[in-house]
């Protein structure tokens, strides 16, 4: 129930120490307050002079103020720590996601990551604010009060002590029920975020297919089920708060009744009896506070689990194994019996891949969809980590994986849908080269075949594009990616992952004219299932079910009458 991970947060021990001292003083203030109040009442009851009441009344007031001022102080002390911790957590989360790369976003979903980084961290902040002081309060205040009661009258101390584990047990049972509900609620929440973002992104497609109404219903259903989950969590929260309040009130009543009997029997004096009675609710207060907020904090706790799960995800270390590299005609890249298994699958997706590449070449990667082309490109780009067996090397330097800073500086990655930032066209082109001049950018745009389109734009290269601005067609997005490659001649390796897969034949043909020149003097990996590209390649890798079933020059493959020829006939001559 108490989250042990809290104490692993950096700096937590120091703050817990400071807050612990404050809570300790506060507990003493509570005892002093109860004692002073009791003395004042007993003196009044005994009809003593009013003067005997003044001092206890002042002490009571001071203790009362001190107690509440301490609450304010504790929050003041805690807030900067919580703000820093959650701020750091957000930064760490973003940095980690950047390091983990696109595979991580695929795995968790964009919507989920966005809500995690924005709202999730805010929930963590609320959670930390609510829970840290309450835990300290619960672990200090009741025990000091108990000690004092023990000193006044051991019978009541034992009763209070004995009832505590029962309450804890009670809370644990209700807490577990609430936790499983809240887990489901959080899953629902993640599903809702992913669903919502997906639907927004897919809206054009949904409209075209006439499915937007059905999807609106779908979003409604998902949010409705989230609402129900929230309500059922709240139901448990309310029930358990009620039960706990009832139970502690009952315990206080029992204490009062027995004190009453003892008073009548003359076994106890009025002052200690009254002090114990005033302190009894204070004894239960911290645990009630904790329980009352427990449900409010579950979301934050779950959000923190989600954030920590990402932060603790293993990532590829040893990113600096490769010494400085400028890919040139003599450079070599070697994969020797390399396999790759996705974390959540048992069978390897890439099996026993061996390639030996030297200098500048155009390498086509072909195969049916699902054969492992993207996985291979991602392995080469270092976005995915290979299995342990097998060897990878660049220029003879053996490497654990290709997530090498010095290798990644050498390539450009052009996927099916290159991402366009909400920025000007010029900024999108000069994305990799921040110091490019305007004429260099224009030149690159010309080479990529963008000039005719740019002429039609009101602000030319300074037109805003990306989400929320001018929309860009698939072919234009590819050309912008291509312009990035033209602009940065220092990146000699190009990784293409089906750049033309969703383009129509004419757009593809015109794009091809502009792409081919950039291939010269580069090492190109070009994954495609459109076989007409093969004629422009120097070398072809044929993938099938994660295996590299054939490799060679296009002519060799054509003559061999093996998998390539089979694939070609399966895909139909029309594509050639
Ligand atoms: N993130 C992933 N986790 C688990 N399996 C995956 C993942 N991405 C792809 N796969 C599986 O790996 C195989 C190869 O996929 P992929 O490399 O995308 O093929 P291609 O690009 O040739 O269409 C497929 O069976 C696919 O389902
Ligand atoms: Mg693919």
d(CA 367, CA 546): 9
Per residue in 266-322, pLDDT tens?
999 999 999 999 999 999 999 888 887 877 788 888 889 889 989 988 888 888 899
Q: Give me the residues of the chain with pLDDT under 70, please.
A: 1, 572-576
491 and 411 in contact (C-beta within 8 Å)?
yes
Single pTM value for the model:
0.70
Protein residue with least CA distance to atom 6, ligand 1: 342
CA-closest residue to ligand 1 atom 17:
372
Q: What is the pLDDT of residue 572?
A: 62
pLDDT at 574: 44
- Which ligand sits closest to the CA of 376? 1
Q: Ligand 1: which of 372, 500, 549 to mutate, most ligand atoms within 8 Å of CB? A: 372
CA distances (Å), 25 to each of 18, 31, 32, 37, in order?
11, 10, 10, 18
Longest dimension (CA), the chain: 117
CB 1 within 8 A of CB 177: no
CA 84 to chain CA centroid, nearest Å: 18
Separation CA 89–CA 124 (nearest Å): 9
Residues in contact with ligand 1 by the CB-under-6-Å rule are 103, 106, 342, 344-345, 349, 367, 369-375
Identify the pLDDT of residue 1. Answer: 64
Q: Which residue CA neighbors atom 3 of ligand 1 most closely?
A: 342
Q: C-alpha angle 387/320/308, rounded to 5°?
A: 65
Q: Which residues have their alpha-adjacent CB atom under 5 A from ion ligand 2? A: 374
HSE-up of residue 13 (Cα within 13 Å, Cβ side): 2
Which residue has its alpha carbon closest to ligand 1 atom 7? 342
User: Nearest Cα to 537, choosing from 573, 562, 564, 571?
Assistant: 564
Domains and their CATH numbers in the chain: 4-311 (1.20.1560.10), 331-410+525-571 (3.40.50.300)
Which residue's alpha carbon is nearest to atom 24 within ligand 1?
A: 370
Residue 440 Cα to ligand 1 middle (Å): 38
Give the orientation angle of helix 121-152 with respect to helix 270-311, to 10 degrees: 150
Closest ligand 1 atom to the C-alpha of 371?
22
Instruction: Please give the pLDDT value at position 4.
Output: 81
State residue 100's pLDDT score.
81
SS3 category, 439 = helix
How far apart CA 457 and CA 426 sit, in angstroms, is 13
């Amino acid at each position: 129930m108490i989250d042990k991970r809290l104490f692993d947060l950096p700096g937590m021990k120091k703050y817990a120490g400071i807050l612990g001292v404050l809570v300790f003083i506060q507990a003493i203030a509570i005892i002093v307050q109860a004692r002073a109040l009791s003395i004042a009442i007993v003196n009044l009851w005994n009809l003593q002079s009013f003067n005997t009441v003044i001092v206890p009344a002042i002490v009571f007031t001071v203790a009362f103020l001190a107690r509440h001022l301490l609450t304010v102080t504790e929050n003041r002390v805690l807030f900067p720590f919580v703000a820093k911790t959650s701020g750091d957590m957000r930064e760490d989360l973003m940095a980690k996601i950047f390091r983990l790369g696109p595979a991580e976003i695929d795995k968790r979903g964009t919507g989920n990551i966005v809500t995690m980084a924005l709202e999730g961290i805010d929930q963590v902040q609320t959670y930390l604010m609510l829970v840290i002081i309450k835990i300290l309060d619960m672990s200090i205040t009741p025990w000091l009060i108990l000690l004092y009661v023990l000193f006044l009258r051991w019978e009541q101390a034992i009763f209070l002590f004995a009832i505590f584990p029962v309450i804890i047990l009670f809370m644990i049972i209700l807490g577990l029920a609430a936790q499983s509900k809240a887990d489901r609620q959080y899953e629902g929440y993640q599903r809702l975020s992913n669903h919502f973002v997906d639907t927004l992104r897919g809206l054009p497609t949904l409209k075209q297919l006439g499915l937007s109404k059905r999807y609106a219903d779908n979003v409604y259903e998902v949010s409705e089920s989230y609402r129900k989950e929230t309500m059922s969590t709240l139901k448990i929260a309310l029930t358990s708060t009620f039960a706990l309040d009832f139970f502690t009130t009952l315990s206080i009543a029992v204490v009062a009744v027995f004190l009453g009997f003892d008073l009548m029997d003359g076994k106890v004096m009025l002052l200690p009896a009254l002090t114990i009675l005033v302190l009894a609710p204070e004894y239960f207060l911290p645990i009630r506070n904790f329980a009352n907020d427990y449900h409010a904090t579950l979301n934050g706790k779950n959000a923190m689990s989600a954030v920590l799960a990402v932060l603790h995800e293993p990532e590829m270390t040893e990113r600096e194994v490769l010494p400085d590299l400028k890919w040139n005609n003599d450079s070599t890249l070697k994969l020797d019996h390399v396999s790759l298994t996705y974390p959540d699958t048992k069978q390897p997706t890439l099996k026993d891949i061996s390639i030996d590449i030297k200098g500048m070449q155009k390498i086509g990667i072909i195969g049916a969809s699902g054969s492992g082309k993207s996985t291979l490109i991602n392995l080469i780009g270092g976005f995915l980590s290979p299995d342990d067996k097998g060897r990878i090397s660049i220029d003879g330097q053996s490497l654990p994986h290709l997530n090498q800073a010095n290798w990644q500086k050498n390539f450009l990655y052009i996927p099916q849908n290159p991402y366009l930032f909400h920025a000007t066209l010029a900024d999108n082109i000069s994305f990799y080269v921040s110091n490019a001049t305007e004429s260099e950018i224009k030149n690159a745009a010309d080479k990529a075949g963008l000039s005719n389109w740019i002429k039609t734009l009101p602000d030319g290269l300074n037109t805003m594009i990306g989400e929320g601005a001018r929309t860009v067609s698939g072919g234009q997005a590819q050309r912008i990616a291509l312009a990035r490659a033209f602009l940065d001649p220092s990146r000699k390796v190009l990784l293409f992952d089906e750049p033309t897969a969703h383009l129509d034949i004419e757009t593809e043909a015109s794009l091809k004219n502009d792409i081919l020149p950039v291939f010269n003097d580069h090492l190109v990996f070009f994954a495609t299932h459109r076989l007409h590209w093969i004629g422009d390649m120097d070398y072809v890798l044929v993938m099938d079910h994660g295996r590299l079933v054939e490799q060679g020059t296009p002519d060799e493959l054509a003559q061999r009458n093996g998998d390539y020829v089979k694939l070609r006939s399966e895909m139909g001559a029309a594509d050639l």
